[in-house]
Amino acid sequence: MSKETEVCLITTGGTIASVYDSETHALRPGLSVDALLESLPRKTGSVKVVNRELLQLDSANAQPHHWQKIASEIKSVHDEMPDLDGIVITHGTDTMVYSASAVSLMVQDFGKPIVFTGAQIPAQVPWSDGPRNIVDAFRVAAFGDIGETCIVFNGEIHRATRTKKVRSNAYDAFDSMDPSPIGILARDIVLYEGRKKRHNLVPKFDTRIDDRVFLLKVFPGMPPGILSRIVDMGYHGIVVEGFGSGNIPTMENSLGGAIRQAVNQGCHVVISSQCVFGQAEPSVYEVGRAAMEAGAISAYDMTSEAALVKLTWILGHTHDEDRVREMMVNNYVGEISASLTPGGGYDNQGRL
């Protein structure tokens, strides 16, 4: 007799679970997990769903300790039900990529799909995209040959650490930042090579973080003293979004000296790119090389969101400069294209 297909649904709030508040005349999370499931057109079919109502949070209010809470709940579910086929997490779209990226790092080698999804329109509204996204997420969690954390939205499956929210109102809110999505949902689940596949390795749960990491976008005229102010505020890491391929000003309002000073004070500086597609290649231009010569670390083609989350997670383990640099350029969960890193990448079994 075959095992019953079973997934766990962990709800955290977001637009998908929002209701209209007549007092504030605005949407707020408040829909119960049972009501959320009732919104599905044909319920969950042959898939048994175990419910966990974890949070009722607008994701704009999500903090790093909420990432830890979600990861800890995944561990709890795994300990209680090790034979689950997968996990679905409903989450607000605004900060979904941060939470999903954090879970990718905090829960490694899980071996089954951990699927984040949500909606642009509340689930109880007739034209909501929520019910479809939940059903798609259940399909991937139950039947998809995926062994990593992903975001399922609008018929696409994205690697969590390679995703950005690129549209605020349209149904196709998310996109993968080079390479393409790892799969699509059509009549069948269509999965592409390069994903991490299901496996039976022992999961690693590690929620240690240091949330004193700042994300700074460079702009013309930005005074270099901002970096020293950030360090003085007690931040231990800064992700600097440079222009183009990670370039910074080197003449008027030069940032080179400010980066060097921050690094000398023990603050770890990572250079990413403001561009949606592409990568930080600071060695290409003189204005990019200045940051590297000052002691910054390249984010390669990591998204700024993934770079911030990764630095937060790394600093929860070590503040040693050489070790932080080594860990930042290591490809843990597909957050960096393997061809760009000094080593790393998935083997043909999807293992790092």
| Interval 97-128: pLDDT, tens | 999 999 999 999 999 999 999 999 999 999 99
pLDDT score for 347:
36
Confidence of residue 282 (pLDDT cuts 50, 70, 90): low
Task: Please state, in angstroms and rounded to a whole number, the distance separating the CA atoms of residues 158 and 182.
Answer: 6
Confidence of residue 239 (pLDDT cuts 50, 70, 90): very high
Measured in residues, the chain has a length of 352
The answer to whether 165 is a known catalytic residue is: yes
pLDDT score for 179:
79
Tokens at residue 292, please? 């590297």
Check 85, 94, 175, 301 and give the catalytic one: 94
The answer to whether 93 is a known catalytic residue is: yes
pLDDT over 80 (residue 237): yes
Beta carbons of 331 and 291 less than 8 angstroms apart = no
Q: Which one of 3.30.420.10, 3.40.50.11750, 1.10.1060.10, 3.40.50.1170 gives the CATH number of domain 6-205?
A: 3.40.50.1170
pLDDT score for 342:
56
φ/ψ bin of 350: left (φ > 0), alpha (ψ from -120 to 50), beta (otherwise) = left
The answer to whether 175 is a known catalytic residue is: no
Check 11, 12, 90, 93 and give the catalytic one: 93
Check 15, 90, 117, 312 and give the catalytic one: 15
pLDDT score for 339:
65
Predicted confidence (pLDDT) per residue in 156-202, tens digit: 999 999 999 999 999 999 999 977 899 999 999 999 999 999 999 99
Beta carbons of 244 and 276 less than 8 angstroms apart = no
Residue ranges of the chain that CATH labels 3.40.50.1170: 6-205
Q: What angle do CA 40, 43, 45 make, to 5 degrees?
A: 140
pLDDT score for 341:
59
Confidence of residue 2 (pLDDT cuts 50, 70, 90): low
pTM of the full structure: 0.94
pLDDT over 50 (residue 241): yes
Tokens at residue 213, please? 């990491």
Task: Please state, in angstroms and rounded to a whole number, the distance separating the CA atoms of residues 64 and 208.
Answer: 10
Beta carbons of 248 and 284 less than 8 angstroms apart = no
pLDDT score for 351:
29
pLDDT score for 286:
77
Task: Please state, in angstroms and rounded to a whole number, the distance separating the CA atoms of residues 196 and 334.
Answer: 9
pLDDT over 50 (residue 337): yes
C-alpha pair distances (Å), 183 with each of 88, 133, 195, 306:
17, 14, 9, 20
Beta carbons of 18 and 128 less than 8 angstroms apart = no
Q: Do strands 114-117 and 149-153 pair parallel, antiparallel, or not at all (unpaired)?
A: parallel
Confidence of residue 345 (pLDDT cuts 50, 70, 90): very low
Residue ranges of the chain that CATH labels 3.40.50.40: 213-340
pLDDT score for 41:
80
C-alpha pair distances (Å), 261 with each of 82, 218, 255, 305:
49, 17, 10, 24
Crossing angle of helices 64-80 and 96-106, in 10° steps, is: 50
- Among candidates 205, 163, 189, which has minimal Cα distance to 77? 205
pLDDT score for 151:
98
pLDDT score for 284:
67
Selected residue with higher pLDDT from 337 and 135: 135
Tokens at residue 26, please? 């605005």
Predicted confidence (pLDDT) per residue in 62-105, tens digit: 999 999 999 999 999 999 999 999 999 999 999 999 999 999 99
Beta carbons of 120 and 86 less than 8 angstroms apart = no
Give the chain's mean pLDDT.
Answer: 92
The top-scoring range by mean pLDDT among 270-274, 281-285, 343-347 is 270-274
pLDDT score for 348:
32
pLDDT score for 228:
97
Selected residue with higher pLDDT from 178 and 133: 133
φ/ψ bin of 2: left (φ > 0), alpha (ψ from -120 to 50), beta (otherwise) = beta
Work out the percent of the chain whose per-residue pLDDT is above 90: 83
Q: What CA dihedral angle connects 337, 343, 348 and 352, to 10 degrees? A: -90
The answer to whether 207 is a known catalytic residue is: no
Task: Please state, in angstroms and rounded to a whole number, the distance separating the CA atoms of residues 190 and 44.
Answer: 20
Selected residue with higher pLDDT from 278 and 227: 227
Q: Which one of 3.40.50.2000, 3.40.50.40, 3.30.230.10, 3.20.20.60 gives the CATH number of domain 213-340?
A: 3.40.50.40
Predicted confidence (pLDDT) per residue in 12-69, tens digit: 999 999 998 888 889 999 999 999 999 888 766 789 999 999 999 999 999 999 999 9
pLDDT score for 285:
72
Task: Show the beta-strand stretches assigned E in 233-322.
Answer: 237-242, 268-273, 297-298
User: Which residues make Cβ contacts (< 8 Å) with residue 326, sequence separation at least 6?
Assistant: none
